[in-house]
């Protein structure tokens, strides 16, 4: 039996609940399908869970980033420093506001932006820095805060992949002036559709984002537009579904973390055999994707496939090498660690309903590949 990388049965246990939710919202007298009571309750629940001042649900993680950047006033002439290795919205959200993304190289092991690189790229035009948590590791947010404070820059934390991660007892999403989460299906708090949230401890910023997500209206009076917004409203059926899924989130996160702990323990001896696992531990770690590094990535991927295990290459090109963004890349700059990550990273399955036997089969296969089973 193949072990999928993107499991089609993520919501298998919740299918009845999903259908009930559709029925409940679809037949409720209010006939309210966006930004209603379920969305408000979801925002409240996440606010309480994170201890944040405000949580604003919106249409996707990408628009969550855009809403915050817009609320921060980022636009033409501005530069925003982002990681050179990561997903497209990091760069596209900046570009779509007329601003310029500046690409910072990453740490070769953790693949998150290197704070020293970020600081070295700050110019008089820099308005914001936007670090992102990657796969299994949170960005070095204490240093990002120091840099932002030292240079008086806005700090937006792209925590799209890091729901439930905690660094020094402080949750992901609450390290910047604002953070975002994505609810796209495969994320740790994914849903049966699109969605995301903005998290902030700044009530004014939260209020602006709240207006921006609904064409600049304030929720009190329709067709009075205080600012130029967009449509990034949240779906009521998905809000009710997320409320149903929230109580089980801690257990699902713990299961992910345990699988990751097991992988990391099994893979610890492999570094000298050309497969490197993410750093061990739980502090500042997220368990969204478990990504290995190997110079022999294609061979590893083939061996996994031969044993019925799907794997996935996230980001085969660094952002400044993507056709869409290369025009923004400084011609004399290089990103050797981002190139290395793009060439060597390979993600193996990590989701809560993997069985112990499947987890063991995956670990055995990686260890067999790297010769690590000899050292057991």
Ligand X SMILES: Cc1ncc(COP(=O)(O)O)c(C=O)c1O
Binding site residues, ligand X, CB under 6 A: 60-62, 86-87, 89, 132, 158, 160-161, 182, 184, 196
What CA–CA distances, in Å, run from 180 to 18, 113, 160, 234, 308? 24, 17, 5, 14, 35
When the beta carbons of 38 and 187 are compared against ligand X, the nearer one is: 187
Closest CB to ligand X among residues 112, 366? 112
Q: Which is nearer to ligand X, 196 or 269 (CB)?
A: 196
Q: How many Å separate Cα 358 from the centre of its chain?
A: 25
Q: What is the Rg, in whole angstroms, of the alpha carbon atoms belonging to the chain?
A: 21
Coil, strand or helix at 232: coil
Query: Quick check: 143 and 115 in contact, CB under 8 A?
Result: yes
Residue carrying the six token digits 């929720």? 219
59 or 349, CB closer to ligand X?
59
| Direct distance between the N- and C-terminal alpha carbons of the chain, in angstroms, rounded to an integer | 26
Q: Which is nearer to ligand X, 253 or 275 (CB)?
A: 253
CB of 115 to ligand X, least distance (A): 18
Instruction: Give least dist CB 371 to ligand X, A.
Output: 33
Q: Are 256 and 135 spatial neighbours (Cβ–Cβ below 8 Å)? A: no
Give least dist CB 125 to ligand X, A: 23
Please provide the size of the chain in residues: 376
Would you say 359 and 263 are in contact if contact means Cβ atoms under 8 Å apart? yes
Element (H, E) at 82: strand 79-83
Q: Which residue is nearest to ligand X (CB)?
A: 61
Give the residue with the Cβ less far from ligand X, 117 or 182.
182
């Amino acid at each position: 039996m193949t072990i999928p990388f993107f499991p089609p049965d993520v919501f298998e246990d919740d299918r009845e609940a999903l259908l009930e939710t559709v029925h409940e919202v679809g037949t409720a007298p209010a006939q309210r399908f966006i930004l209603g009571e379920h969305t408000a309750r979801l925002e409240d629940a996440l606010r309480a869970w994170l201890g944040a001042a405000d949580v604003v649900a919106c249409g996707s993680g990408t628009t969550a980033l855009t809403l915050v950047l817009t609320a921060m006033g980022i636009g033409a002439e501005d530069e925003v420093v982002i990681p050179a290795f990561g997903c497209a919205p990091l760069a596209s959200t900046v570009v779509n506001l007329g601003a310029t993304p500046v690409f910072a190289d990453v740490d070769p092991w953790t693949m998150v932006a290197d704070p020293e690189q970020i600081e070295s790229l700050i110019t008089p035009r820099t308005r914001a820095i936007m670090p992102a948590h990657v796969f299994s590791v949170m960005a070095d947010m204490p240093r990002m805060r120091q840099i932002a404070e030292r240079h008086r820059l806005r700090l937006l934390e792209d925590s799209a992949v890091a729901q439930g991660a905690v660094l020094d007892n402080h949750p992901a999403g609450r390290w910047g002036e604002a953070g975002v989460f994505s609810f796209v299906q495969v994320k740790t708090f994914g849903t049966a559709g699109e969605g995301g949230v903005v998290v902030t401890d700044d009530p004014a910023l939260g209020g602006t984002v709240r207006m921006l997500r609904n064409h600049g209206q304030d929720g009190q009076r329709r067709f009075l537009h205080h600012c130029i917004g967009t449509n990034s409203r949240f779906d009521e059926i998905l809000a009710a579904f997320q409320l149903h899924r929230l109580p089980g989130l801690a257990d699902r996160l713990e299961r992910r973390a345990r699988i990751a702990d097991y992988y990391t323990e099994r893979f610890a001896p492999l570094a000298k055999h050309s497969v490197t696992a993410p750093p061990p531990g739980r502090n500042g770690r997220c368990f969204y994707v478990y990504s290995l590094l190997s110079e022999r990535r294609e061979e590893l991927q083939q061996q996994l496939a031969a044993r019925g295990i799907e794997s996935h290459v996230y980001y085969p090109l660094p952002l400044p090498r993507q056709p869409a963004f290369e025009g923004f890349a400084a011609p004399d700059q290089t990103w050797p660690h981002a190139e290395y990550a793009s060439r060597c990273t390979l993600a193996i399955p990590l989701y809560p309903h993997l069985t112990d036997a499947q987890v063991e089969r995956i670990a055995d296969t990686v260890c067999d590949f790297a010769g690590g089973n000899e050292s057991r």
